[in-house]
Amino acid sequence: MIHETYDMASPVADIYRYAATLNASGKYFELKVYQGQPHGFMIENGQLSQSFVARDAARLSSILILK
């Protein structure tokens, strides 16, 4: 999961509770929280930002591969 701390529509506390529920259920997930970023900060012109992709591509691809 990717989330931001400055997301007024979806408070980060809600995401932490959801992560705790997933963890208690034994579900595999990873949570990356970007401090001070607003909702959708990684989107530019309706697409995933290339700078965001370059910075996190290897980590994200390992997470997003379906097992």
Pairing state between β 47-48 and 43-44: antiparallel
Q: How many domains does the chain have?
A: 1
Q: Which pLDDT belongs to residue 22? A: 96
Domain extent at residue 50? 2-64
Q: Which pLDDT belongs to residue 18? A: 96
Mean pLDDT by 10 residues, the chain (67 residues): 89 95 95 89 80 69 60
* CA count, 13 A, side-chain hemisphere, 55: 8
The SS3 call for residue 44 is strand
Q: Which pLDDT belongs to residue 50? A: 74
Contact 52/42 with Cβ under 8 angstroms? yes
Contact 37/3 with Cβ under 8 angstroms? no
**Phi and psi at residue 5, to the nearest 5°:** -85, -15
